[in-house]
Amino acid sequence: KLEENTILLARVGGAFANGSDDFNDLKKSAEELTNQIIELTTVYGDSAVKAQEAAAIFARAGRDEQETLEATRVALIASRIAELDVVEAAKLLSGAMLQFNLNASQLLPTLDALNTLSNSYRVTTNDLLQSYCRNSLRRQRLRRRRCGRR
C-alpha cells in the first residue's frame, strides 16, 4: 500500500519536483516525501499509509513537498489532540488552509489556539476544528453569492 500511495502522491503532487512534468521526477520527490512521512509516523505514532493519504490531500491542494510534509506533521498532531483519524484531520486542516489562505507554518499555531480554547471552555478541539471548517465553507458560499455564482 505504501508503494501505491507513493504513486498517488506523484500523480497528485503537481507542485512537487519544482513543478516538473516528468513523472520520474515527480515519483522521486514522492518517494523522498514518503520516507520523511515514515519518519514522522515513527515520531508521532500513526500509520504511514494513513499519513500518506493525509499528505495526498495537501498535495491535491497544490502544496509543494515541504508544505505537504509540514501540513501532514500538523495533521498527525491534530489527530492526537482532537482524537481524529489523521485523514479526517488533514481534510479539516486543508479546508481551513484554502479558505483562510493559511500556509503550513500557520497551521500549528492555529491548532494550538484551538486547543487552548478547548482547554478553557467546555468544547473539544475536534468540535472547534469542525466548526472552523464549516465556517470556511459558509464563507466560500457567501463569497460565491456576492459574485453571482451558486
Per-residue pLDDT band at 24 (split at 50, 70, 90):
confident
Task: Evaluate if residue 147 carries a pLDDT over 60.
Answer: no
For 28-77, the pLDDT digits (tens) are 889 999 999 999 999 998 999 999 999 999 998 889 899 999 999 999 99
15: which residues sit within 8 A by CB, 6+ positions away? 59, 62, 63, 64, 65, 67
Q: How far apart are CA 89 and CA 103, in angstroms?
A: 16
- In eight-state DSSP terms, residue 105 is G
Contact between 74 and 107 under an 8 Å Cβ cutoff? The reply is yes
pLDDT digits (tens, 9 = 90+) for 64-112: 899 999 999 999 999 998 888 999 999 989 988 887 889 999 999 988 9
Q: Measure the CA–CA gap between 10 and 74, rounded to whole angstroms.
A: 21
At 121 the pLDDT is 87
Going by the DSSP 8-state scheme, the letter that residue 83 receives in this structure is T
